[in-house]
Chains A and B, each alone.
Chain A
Amino acid sequence: ILNVEQSPQSLHVQEGDSTNFTCSFPSSNFYALHWYRWETAKSPEALFVMTLNGDEKKKGRISATLNTKEGYSYLYIKGSQPEDSATYLCAFRNFGNEKLTFGTGTRLTIIP
């Protein structure tokens, strides 16, 4: 059984502040690490797919880093806005497998 953990479970951040949260995953047999943003009643939106150790990816105010040797990824949000309120999910994929194993998510609430 693959163990993917996210912390914190929930987070309240003042509008304009920056924040980050963590995803930890097995460090062996790594293939890819996915980040999704999921708003209620919408499809989970793919943010990043990260495949190489040391990868850093950026999309607007959101960025992510990857350390496959120690099995963690950070997601950063700079200058939080109310529209950033959502659940952020990470998902691990190991080599030779199409399946994703998800963490329980970090529920982010931005306080105006």
Chain B
Amino acid sequence: SAVISQKPSRDICQRGTSLTIQCQVDSQVTMMFWYRQQPGQSLTLIATANQGSEATYESGFVIDKFPISRPNLTFSTLTVSNMSPEDSSIYLCSATGSTYEQYFGPGTRLTVT
């Protein structure tokens, strides 16, 4: 199994600012993903973080708003840019291990005021 840590665990930010969330995995993994959970909603996939190349974004999410980096096999960052109150969510990093398993970090709880 993989152990995933995220920083920060929570933050309160002013609208118009940006926040970068870091995700560290304790072993090399193939795929890394970023999800968010808005209040009362499902966990929704934002993008797949690709090592050494641009992330693959899901419908409704764009690179200018959610730039993602993945410089190596164990680390990724997600930036939430030009934040508004609608960006208040829990943001989770995940990674795939074996063929079926997908592991999650503890999440970053973001509140935008």
Contact = CB atoms under 8 A, between A and B. Distances in A.
A104 B41 CA distance: 6
Contacts of A105: 42
Contacts of B109: 41
Contacts of A32: 100
Interface residues of A, number: 22
A49 interface: yes
A43 B102 CA distance: 12
A110 B39 CA distance: 22
Interface string A34-48: 101000011110100
A100 B102 contact: yes
B106 A41 contact: yes
Contacts of B103: 43, 46
A99 B42 CA distance: 14
Contact of A43 (B31, B41, B43, B107): B107
Interface of B: 4, 9, 31, 33, 35, 40-45, 48, 92, 96, 100-107, 109
15 contacts: A34-B100, A42-B106, A43-B107, A46-B101, A93-B100, A98-B31, A98-B96, A99-B45, A99-B48, A101-B42, A102-B35, A102-B44, A103-B42, A104-B42, A105-B42
